Amino acid sequence: MIRDLYEPEHLAFGSAFQAFLDQEVAPYHAEWEQNGIVDRELWRKAGERGFLAMYAEPEYGGQGLDDFRYNAILVETQARSFLSGPMLSLGSDVVIPYIWHYGSPEQKARWLPKLIRGEYISAIGMSEPETGSDLASITTTAEDCGDHYRVNGTKFWISNGHLSNLIVLVVKTDPAKRHRGISLIVLERSEQPYETVQILDKMGYLARDVAELKFDNVRVPKENLLGQAGEGFRYMMQQLPQERLIIAVGNVATAEAVLAYTLDWVKERTAFGQPIGSFQNTRFKLAELQTEVRIARVFVDNCIKLHLEKKLTTEEASMAKWWCSELLMKVNTTCLQFFGGRGYLIANPVAKAYRDTRVEPIYGGTNEIMKEIIGKSLGL
């Protein structure tokens, strides 16, 4: 497929990142999966190579590459490598944009250089043990105590939670106002200590650090408030479309990689004296998947273009997240079957994708919530 999305400079950036993955990730990935966590030094190495928050201004250590295509090609490159452990994109595409968009000049100068150099690993604290997609129902509070806030609560499913030095925390500064009482506060673990209760034992993405965090009377200075008090829900609604788009970008790239790996297999593997790809059932199923993945690619590329023009709507981002994550599940399930018993071996990249990506229809807002958003946009 000929794509007109990327220019030579984007492709060169992607190639440099592939070399980084080959050198700094691939040799250690199995060990990280066994240990359940990625070596934190990887973020420093990524920062040294310029792979973190490339869009930030040079004065903060960024490259001034305010072009989402650079973000997208890094996510695509990592997805196609089946190296799922490092969550570098979480910082660049989800967490750091809150500071970049809503932070004061003083806050940017304080936090962005450390994040861009990889000295700090970032997380965002939205979900709670009893609250996932319904962000208006969070119970973590930040009590106004004059010159500081006192934060209490528990956050769950926090990616990079244990490794994090800095967290953008979603809190209620006025619990009586539901979503209008939500604010965003930045905590530095060294300055405002918070506790890792546990690193969660997950079904997939075994190298990813996903944790439960506890905040027990944590004293946070008022200058750590991002933007205006009570505007946190609005800020999240502005940033969640990019988060959901980047999920879709990774999903369609993974689907393409799984399909390509499977196509190579069915051309080589024989049964009853002929390649299994020559059977009609194989051809028809793979023809269907190839068509659907191609359609998804065209739609996602168009969403990226709209995002570059600041025209991507919440509904379109929700469509991309829902469609591509569900399609990835279909691709994984169908392709795994073609490997027979070998498909059950975890060393098989398709089996790894099958295991890892089952969470894609769940996180970033469940697909049921995505359909609710789309439905409401239809006036229903």
With respect to residue 3, please indicate whether it lies within any of the assigned structural domains.
no
Centre a 10 Å sphere on the Cβ of residue 171 and count the other Cβ atoms it contains: 28
Across the chain, where does the E strand assignment appear?
122-125, 141-144, 148-159, 166-172, 182-188, 195-199, 210-221, 225-226, 270-271, 274-275
Question: Average pLDDT in the 228-252 region?
Answer: 96
CATH, residue 150: 2.40.110.10
Q: Which two tokens stand for residue 153?
A: 């609560």
> Could you tell me if 145 and 175 lie in one domain?
yes
- In this prediction, residue 320 has a pLDDT band, given cuts at 50, 70 and 90, of very high
Please name the amino acid found at residue 270: T
The residue to which tokens 């966590």 are assigned:
37
CB atoms within 10 A of CB 83: 18
Task: Report residue 286 CA to chain centroid gap.
Answer: 28
Any domain includes 292: yes
Packing angle, helices 232-268 and 280-308, rounded to 10: 150
- Looking from the CA of 58 toward its CB, the CA atoms found within 13 Å total 1
Residue 243 annotated in active site: yes
In this prediction, residue 131 carries a pLDDT of 83
| Ramachandran class of 227: left when φ > 0, alpha when ψ lies in -120 to 50, beta otherwise | left
Q: What is the mean pLDDT of residues 180-185?
A: 97
> Cα-atom radius of gyration of the chain, to the nearest Å?
21
pLDDT tens column, 76-127 = 999 999 999 999 999 999 999 999 999 999 999 999 999 999 999 999 999 9
For 18-31, the pLDDT digits (tens) are 999 999 999 999 99
* Cβ partners under 8 Å of residue 36, min gap 6: 199, 201, 206, 207, 209
CATH classification of the domain holding 295: 1.20.140.10
Of 231, 226, 94, 105, the C-alpha closest to 164 is 94
Give kind and range of the element (H or E) at residue 285: helix 280-308
Same-domain pairing of 166 and 181: yes
Percentage, residues of the chain above pLDDT 90: 96
pLDDT 10s digits, 28-64: 999 999 999 999 999 999 999 999 999 999 999 999 9
Cβ neighbours around 73 below 10 Å, total: 23
Residue 104, domain CATH: 1.10.540.10
Task: Report the residue count for the chain.
Answer: 380
Average pLDDT over residues 212-232: 97
**Is the predicted pLDDT of residue 137 greater than 90, yes or no?**
no
Shared-domain flag, residues 323 and 365 = yes
What is the per-residue pLDDT for 226?
98
Is the pLDDT reported for residue 178 higher than 90?
no
Q: What confidence score (pLDDT) does residue 134 get?
A: 79
Give me the pLDDT at residue 315, please.
97
Q: Give me the chain's average pLDDT, please.
A: 96
DSSP-based three-state secondary structure for 149: strand
What is the tally of structural domains in the chain? 3
Q: Is residue 2 part of a domain?
A: no
The span from the CA of 107 to the CA of 52, in Å, is: 18
In a domain, 89, yes or no: yes
Mean pLDDT of 235-247: 96
What share of the chain in percent tops pLDDT 70?
A: 99
pLDDT, residue 129, reads: 92
DSSP 181: G
Q: Which of 133, 79, 87 is nearest to 331 (CA)?
A: 79
State which amino acid sits at residue 222.
Answer: K
- With cut-offs at 50, 70 and 90, classify the pLDDT of residue 188: very high
- What sign for the dihedral angle of Cα 296, 298, 299, 303? positive
CB under 8 Å to 360, separation ≥6 — which residues?
Answer: 247, 251, 325, 328, 329
Structure tokens belonging to residue 11: 């492709």
- For range 257-281, the mean pLDDT: 96
3-class state of residue 131 by DSSP: strand
Q: What's the confidence (pLDDT) of residue 3?
A: 85
Mean pLDDT, range 329-351, rounded to an integer: 96
Q: Which of 188, 212, 243, 256 is catalytic?
A: 243
DSSP 8-state class, residue 90: I
**Is it the case that residue 138 has pLDDT exceeding 90?**
yes
Is the same domain home to 82 and 140? Answer: no
- pLDDT, position 279: 97
Range of the domain at 307: 234-377
Q: 313 with 353, same domain?
A: yes
Nearest to 334 by CA among 376, 278, 284, 270: 284
Indicate whether 357 belongs to any domain: yes
Both 285 and 335 in one domain: the answer is yes
CA atoms within 13 A on the CB side of 63: 16
Phi and psi torsions of 3, nearest 5°: -110, 140
Mean pLDDT of the region 206-212? 96
Amino acid 35: pLDDT: 95
